[in-house]
Amino acid sequence: MRVLVIEDDAELADAVGVGLRRELFATDVSLDGSEGLERALYTGYDVIVLDRDLPGVHGDTVCAELIAAGRQGRILMLTAAATIEDRVGGLSIGADDYLPKPFAFAELVARVRALARRAQPAVPPVLISGDLCVDPARRTVRRGGSLLDLGPKEFGVLELLLAAQGRVVSAEELLERVWDEMADPFSSAVKVTMSRLRRKLGQPPVIETVAQAGYRVPGC
């Protein structure tokens, strides 16, 4: 899943970004509203963690602009103000959830996960294909009862392919949804990760290559 953090407190933004990456979210960070809005309009983020009191462009304006542009990513609004009026105000302009500062990081992660699930078409909580079982909440993968040790990008690719339920997923979509903005669009990152993932999944093959289109897990 792809997350954008828009927060002008550099220390907090960095800490949240590092923490979300440890939770296997591909995470980008912007330190002001204008840059954050530009990124959010350009990239299809699943969740946007948006500070309300931003320099450049206020968080309320960022939220309103994204909704007006028809962006589908869910918005979690942060603010130091914790009154009922502030909460209602944030939700009334289109935010999907609201978290007052200071907050526990575990709660932030739980809310981001919940919003990420809402950002995608409904899928089962545990993804199964044949003898392969992926549990996104526990971040575990089993095949034939054996626990597999997947890296973050390998897990992200497999989760996205299974969630697609047989749909072909292009390399470009994988790069956008699983990697962050530092990924080189002309690199072989997807191909290399796919090779490692297939090796770890073993035989018979789970992932099918569709010529000039992408990848899919048939039979989901």
Shared domain for 53 and 140, answered yes or no, is no
Shared domain for 140 and 203, answered yes or no, is yes
Amino acid sitting at position 155: F
Average pLDDT rounded to a whole number, residues 123-139:
82
At 156, is the secondary structure helix, strand, or coil?
helix
Say yes or no to pLDDT of 126 above 60.
yes
Domain holding 183, by residue range, is 127-216
Higher-confidence residue of 177 and 11: namely 11
Say yes or no to pLDDT of 41 above 70.
yes
CATH number at residue 202: 1.10.10.10
Shared domain for 211 and 111, answered yes or no, is no
* pLDDT tens figures, 70-122: 887 899 999 876 666 666 665 677 889 988 888 999 999 999 988 987 766 54
Last residue of a domain, one of 103, 119, 135: 119
pLDDT band at residue 220, thresholds of 50, 70 and 90? Answer: low
Q: What is the dihedral of CA 28, 102, 72, 92, to 10 degrees?
A: -150
Give the other-Cβ count within 10 Å of 70's Cβ.
Answer: 6
Say yes or no to pLDDT of 215 above 80.
yes
CATH number at residue 107: 3.40.50.2300
Last residue of a domain, one of 119, 144, 163: 119
| The predicted structure's pLDDT at residue 29 | 96
The answer to whether 96 and 118 have CB atoms below 8 angstroms apart is: yes
Shared domain for 91 and 167, answered yes or no, is no
* pLDDT tens figures, 147-160: 999 998 999 999 99
Number of domains present in the structure of the chain: 2
Shared domain for 97 and 205, answered yes or no, is no
pLDDT band at residue 131, thresholds of 50, 70 and 90? Answer: very high
